Structure 1
Amino acid sequence: MPSRHGNGNLANMVTAPRPAPSRKPPVAMRAASEASEAAAEEPTETKEEKSFMDKFGVVIYIGLWYVFNIGYNIYNKKALISYPYPWACALWQMSFGWLIFVPLWILRIRKTPKLTVSQAVTLAPSALGHLATHVGAVIAFFAGAVSFGHIVKASEPVVSSFLNFAFLGEVMPWQVYASLLPIIGGVGLASASELSFNWLCFGAAMGSNLGSASRAVYSKKVMSGGDIGKNMDSANVYAVLTIMATFMLIPISLAIEGPSAMLKGFKLAYHSGGMSFMWQMILSGFYYYMYNEVAFLALGKLDPVSHAVCNTMKRVVIIITAIFVFRNPVTGLGVLGSSIAILGTLIYSLAKNKYAK
């Protein structure tokens, strides 16, 4: 018996402290349970968000891409009518992007790009191509109808194919080159029948094509796979090119149009249009940057065929909208030529995707 009591007392001494820890496990279990429930809820929400973007993300991006692009073409033309200084307008629109991406960097919403002087030098030709693409388009839309400018810009694949052959030695299958014929024929027919045709509009639009194609060829030859800096995603690459192109454009635009003439023209436009003119300038700059910003989000989610279709439809929508808004007269042959040229760009993209892989 004493031994039992001794064992009992020993058992009591051993088990006596247990109630204190025994109160903690339920708390820990509840905490663990709550944490697991929270963890279970978080993936569910993330999954729902991903599911929403998977379903509607492409449509949203394409819709914004179209809206911003249409908005830019309308307000850019209106601004050019009120303020007939295309180099100044191009400089303003290029500079407007700074008001968007610089605050994003300062607030750390977007990572700040970091690159060396040598990396900046590597990007310089692309920035020059970016400059030529934008300025050429602005001058073309200043000199002629927006619809006609886009018809000429539809011939970019012809310029791109020539530059790829000249500088990269790229020879594509005959089917791809054959698909260029409708583009050439359509642009020629539309140009011959265009009532507002002028060589400045045609030449500037072709210069824009040359800048865009040169930028693409240079990127393929030099930039692809190269080290162009830190935090240089697509959005930041575009922002850096915008900064460099702005610095290139400042002396050129001032030399061509002159600061005094720019200022005098701005005062006259503001005196005539007031805040309506100011909104034309602001929206042209905003839409210009935003449609380029959204474009890479939209195109990054599309396969080559869908990309070709969406890009073709975008140009069709812009041309129709411009004709409707600005009441530009068009002939039957002009409509036919435009249709052939636009359809040719789609055929070219599809042929290149199929035969030139």
Structure 2
Amino acid sequence: DVSLLLYFVFWYVGNAIYNMYNTMALKAVGGKHGGLTMTVSTLQLGICSIYAGMLWLSKPEKMLLPKTTKEDLVATLPVGFCAAAAHSAGVFCLGADPLFGQIVKAGEPVMSAFVNTFFYGKPPSLAKVFCLFFIVAGVGFASLKKGLDGAYKLKFDERALIFGMIGNSFAAFKGSENKKLMTKPGLKDRMGGVANQFALTELIGFFISVPVMVATEWKKFPEFFRLLGSSKELQVGLVLSGMSFYLYNELATMTIKKTGAVTASVANTAKRVIVLIFMSAVTGKALSDEQKIGATIAIAFVMLYSVIDDLVK
């Protein structure tokens, strides 16, 4: 299936491009100590919203305006909030350490299992619990560094770990809330398809992020606008990271629709490996032996986690 192959290729390429230009935009505003990470994250969602608006206005035959009611929009707020929080936390995580951040983000099933067990009463199977121990162990081993005395010590970017875990938690909430949302009678028809659903989620996420951005970083706005007017890296990085974020997520949705959730989960795991290698090349920062081994263990068991229930039937 050529179309399916192209979905995979552009999904992977889009994600790699997003990571590259996200890193470029964050570096242009001073990196994790620049105090403008939330601004970059919010404006990426703003670009997503502008793109969605252009699709609604210029191509009505391809993307009809949703016919959602006020009640539908209120019901969509939790998904939009979780999407915004997951995105912003992910930007903070990857801005702190693009490589270790990818390893932490690969551990998303751990937080997903926790959230679904304690908040939605849907615990994972014993087989999946078995995999979770190895995912945690892999991320843990990737956090170790060998000292001059030969002893291993924990050494990692705390900001990347904390925001990575926060992002993983909100991604888990978003997935569960989205499933709940789609059970609302007639909502799918009123939404007008997954493209509209994703566009609405990003739009709501943007409007939720704006007050957070203003409250936390308003003092840095003059500096941001000065950089935006003078830094080509910020201009290009911001626009292309926002566009690629929207497009690769849409392609991921199309891939799931065409293949099923399990195949897409495995593909998403493989994507982590490719992006990890790609970002190592882009940043010029080599993975340590501990990170290579830890990432291999974590990502391998994330892949197994995705399919193990089907294997042990």
SS at match of 1:193: strand
Code of the aligned partner of 1:62: F
8 Å contact 2:107–2:139 — kept in the other structure? yes
- Stretch of structure 1 that moved more, 301-310 or 63-72: 301-310
- Please name the residue that 1:72 is paired with: 18
Q: Deviations over 1:236-283 (max 9, x none)?
A: 00101111111111111110011x412313413643x3x343212211
- Please name the residue that 1:33 is paired with: none
**Equivalent of 2:160, from 196, 201, 205?**
201
TM-superposed CA distance for 1:132, in Å, is: 1.0
TM-superposed CA distance for 1:154, in Å, is: 1.1
**Equivalent of 2:212, from 247, 252, 256?**
252
SS at match of 1:197: coil
The number of residues matched between the two structures is 298
Unaligned runs of 5+ in 2: 31-35, 147-153
- Please name the residue that 1:334 is paired with: 291
- Structure 1 segments of 4 or more deviating over 6 A? none
Distance 1:355 1:120 in 2: 40
Distance 1:276 1:131 in 2: 24
8 Å contact 1:123–1:228 — kept in the other structure? no
TM-superposed CA distance for 1:222, in Å, is: 4.5
- Please name the residue that 1:296 is paired with: 253
- Please name the residue that 1:41 is paired with: none
- Please name the residue that 2:5 is paired with: 59
- Please name the residue that 2:274 is paired with: 317
**Equivalent of 1:171, from 112, 117, 123?**
123
Distance 2:305 2:186 in 1: 32
Code of the aligned partner of 1:160: S
> Is 2:184 the partner of 1:232?
no
Higher alpha-carbon Rg = 1
Q: Deviations over 1:141-160 (max 9, x none)?
A: 1122x121111011111111
8 Å contact 2:76–2:181 — kept in the other structure? no
Q: RMSD value over aligned CA atoms?
A: 2.0
Q: Residues 270 and 329 from structure 1, CA distance in 2 versus in 1: closer, same or farther, beyond 3 angstroms? A: farther
Code of the aligned partner of 1:89: V
SS at match of 1:163: helix
**Equivalent of 1:123, from 68, 71, 76?**
76
SS at match of 2:258: coil
Code of the aligned partner of 1:315: R
- Please name the residue that 2:93 is paired with: 140
- Please name the residue that 1:112 is paired with: 65
TM-score (norm 1): 0.79
Which runs of structure 2 are paired with 1:30-69 in the superposition (5 Å)? 55-69=1-15
**Equivalent of 2:40, from 85, 89, 94?**
89
Distance 1:252 1:99 in 2: 19
SS at match of 2:56: helix
TM-score (norm 2): 0.89
8 Å contact 2:42–2:209 — kept in the other structure? yes
SS at match of 1:328: coil
8 Å contact 2:143–2:290 — kept in the other structure? no
TM-superposed CA distance for 1:231, in Å, is: 3.6
TM-superposed CA distance for 1:162, in Å, is: 1.3
Q: Residues 326 and 286 from structure 1, CA distance in 2 versus in 1: closer, same or farther, beyond 3 angstroms? A: same
TM-superposed CA distance for 1:233, in Å, is: 1.0
Distance 2:250 2:155 in 1: 32
Distance 1:214 1:321 in 2: 29
Distance 1:65 1:81 in 2: 24
Q: Residues 208 and 172 from structure 1, CA distance in 2 versus in 1: closer, same or farther, beyond 3 angstroms? A: closer
